[in-house]
Every structure is written in C-alpha cells, then in structure tokens.
Amino acid sequence: MQRAAFIYNPIAGPRRQDRKAAVEQAAAVLRDARVATELVETRGPHTASDQAMEMIAAGCDTIIACGGDGTIHECMQQMVETRSPAALGVLPFGTGNALAADLRIPRDPAAAAHVLLRSEPRRIAVGRLEPETGDAAQGRYFIVTAGVGGDAHMLYSLNFETKQRHGMNAYYAQAAQIFLSHDFPAFLVEFDDEHSGSLRTEVVSQVLAVRISNFGGLIRGLAPGASLQRDDMRLVLFRTPRKSAFLFYMLGRLLQRKWLGPAVELVWAHRAICRPLPGDAQLGRPWPRQNKAARIYAEADGEVSGRLPVRLSSVPDALTLLIPSF
C-alpha cells in the first residue's frame, strides 16, 4: 500500500459530526506508516463507485470504503466490472458491518487502520445478481449476501430515514413486522447442485446466497460453510412458507447448532435462477393458495435490486480485497 483513498459519506449514520474525525484518525495511522492518503467525500447517492475509479485513475493503489456493507457494495461495483488490480479495504462505520465482522476488523478507526496495514491483498470471488432477462447493466455485484424473498421484502419496506435514525434496531423491528404479516409467497429456484452434479428445481419461499462465514452480532454463521476463500455460493433454501421453519433455523444459528429442519437445505452452487411460479402451478400442503401476481423482490448486500426473475452467479477472480493476517 503506497497511496490510499478513504471514501466516505459525510452525512451518513446517526453520528454524522464524528464521521470525518474518525476517517482522519485512520488516515493519520497510514500517514505515519508513509502511506499517502486522500480523503474523498461522496458527492451524493451512488457516486462512490465512480469516485473510486477516479482515484484509481489518479494513482491510488488502495480504496478504503469507510462505512457499512452498503458503502463497500457501492465502492466495489466498477472495481469488479473493470477487474481493477487496486485493492479494496474496509473501515467499518456503518449500520451493518457484516464484512468487517467476517474479516475481524475492529470498529475503532485507529485500530482498524493498523489492521489494514497488516493485511494482505488477495483476489477473491464475488457474487452477481442480475435480471434473468433484460439489461445486464442493471445487475449488481455482491460480497456478503444476496437474497430473494422475505429479507428483500423487508429491505424494500424499510424507510431510509428510520434506518438512518435507529440503525440496526430499525432492521430488527422491520424484520419482526414482516415476519408477522408477510405471506412468504412461493417461487421457483433452479440451480446447479455441486454435490449431486445435477440441475435441480425447487419450490421455495426464500433463497439466500451467502459469501461470508461470520455476520457478527446475534446471528453469526448464517450459512455454515460459506467463505470468501471459495469460488462458489452457499445457498440457503427455505422449501416451506411455514414461519416455524424460519424460527427454528435462526434459533440454530443463534445457538451455533447444526439444526436445519426438514424444509431448509444448504447447497453449494455457482449459479441459480429464481423465477415466478408458472400460471398453471398447483401446490399442495404446506403451501397456501398462491397469489402468483405477488411481487417478490431481490437484494444484494442489503440493497434492493429489482424483483423476479433474477439470476445469481459467482464471479471468480473478481476483486482484490485486503484480508487481515492475524
């Protein structure tokens, strides 16, 4: 690392007045290590990706995303698209800091900067979520997780101002509301099952495509076996609309047990396609009468990214990530 750009949103988060001071603390650590640093405020929504590429073109070999998973998600888009050799580092300031938790990067800015100095740049795979049909430019790369179904519906319903004001408590409250009121409509997922070597199609109410092993907080190992070191995705398939299955699975993750339940399956896959049910589909128990016109949303790294039909895929050798060496 010789020249690093810290990209941050000056108005994000509940403690906005402290954001620039925290970035300055981290930058000072790098300067003491003779790394040239630049502080870059985002110009507005969805500008971080363009600004990252501008700083790379100006000679920066490292982009440090200062924020949560949404900031990382935004910074990496064109870096992946262009297969940039520049490294991406993480300074966790966000509401959700799942990638930082997985990398074991501390929340203290100075401590995080010291960890970045001891990190190694490694090429990793990322995931991609895109419409099955239509403009591929609408697709998004993801590094943490993508979801189709209930979790994306929750994010679609979450008010931005509420999220800014209440942080993770807003997520928990919205998740509880969706869990109690949402019908979890069925859809189809088609995927290449690496274990069996066959193409499978299942009726599901929720699909998660997970790339990291530790989300931090209460729910850590959301998809046991998932890892940034792998080139595929860990899919979590909920083959039931029954809310008890969701509760049982999340309780197992909370208690760090291997419980799945009979209607939840973990598989490895490089690609999956999620589609609406065909008009003539007839489902028996436990599926209720289906509203085939229901809108089923998809999200990537916590950002709503359209609705069915969508394609999930892994992209090998996609991004250089600073990974701490402890």
- Mean of pLDDT values over 13-40: 89
Mean pLDDT of the 74-81 span: 98
The confidence score (pLDDT) of residue 166 equals 44
Share of the chain above pLDDT 90, in %: 63
Confidence of residue 260 (pLDDT cuts 50, 70, 90): confident
Model confidence band, residue 290 (pLDDT cutoffs 50, 70, 90):
low
Read off the pLDDT of each residue in 138-156 and give the average, rounded to a whole number: 86
Above 50 in pLDDT, residue 286?
A: yes
Given a cut of 60, is residue 167 above it in pLDDT?
no
224 has pLDDT over 80:
yes
Q: What local confidence, expressed as pLDDT, does residue 178 receive?
A: 58
pLDDT at 168: 53
218 is written with which tokens? Answer: 């209460």
Q: How many residues does the chain have?
A: 326
Least confident of 93-97, 102-106, 246-250, 290-294: 290-294
pLDDT at 193: 86
Higher-confidence residue of 168 and 212: namely: 212
- Whether the predicted pLDDT of 169 surpasses 60: no
CA atoms of 211 and 14, how far apart (whole Å): 28
Q: What is the mean pLDDT of residues 308-316?
A: 96
3 state SS of 128: strand
User: Radius of gyration (Cα) for the chain, nearest Å?
Assistant: 20
Average pLDDT over residues 168-182: 57
pLDDT of residue 154: 67
pLDDT in tens, 44-77: 989 999 999 999 999 999 999 999 999 999 999 9
Select the CATH number that applies to the domain covering 3-117 from these four: 3.40.50.300, 3.40.630.30, 2.60.40.10, 3.40.50.10330.
3.40.50.10330
> Average pLDDT for residues 3-26, to the nearest whole number?
85
CB 195 within 8 A of CB 175: no
Residue 22, classed as helix, strand or coil, is: helix
Beta partners for residue 66, in sequence order? 8, 91
Q: Average pLDDT in the 18-38 region?
A: 96
> 128-315: which CATH architecture?
Sandwich (2.60)
Q: For residue 211, is pLDDT > 80?
A: yes
Nearest Cα to 199, choosing from 207, 190, 208?
190
Domain ranges of the chain: 3-117, 128-315
Region 126-145: mean pLDDT is: 90
Question: Is pLDDT of 5 > 90?
Answer: yes
- Whole-angstrom distance, CA of residue 44 vs CA of residue 56: 19
For the residues 142-162, what does the mean pLDDT come to?
A: 74
- Please say if the pLDDT value at position 158 is more than 60: no
Residue with the bigger pLDDT between 73 and 221: it is 73
Q: How many CB atoms lie within 10 A of CB 199?
A: 10
Q: Which helix (H) or strand (E) holds 51?
A: helix 48-57
pLDDT of residue 159: 45
Residue 32: its pLDDT value, please? 98
Burial of 271 (0-12, 13-18, 19+ CB in 10 A): middle
Alpha-carbon span 83 to 114, nearest angstrom:
27
Query: Is pLDDT larger for residue 65 or for residue 194?
Result: 65
Q: How far is CA 140 from the centre of its chain?
A: 10
Longest dimension (CA), the chain: 66
Q: Mean pLDDT score of the chain, rounded to an integer?
A: 88
Q: How many CB atoms lie within 10 A of CB 70?
A: 20
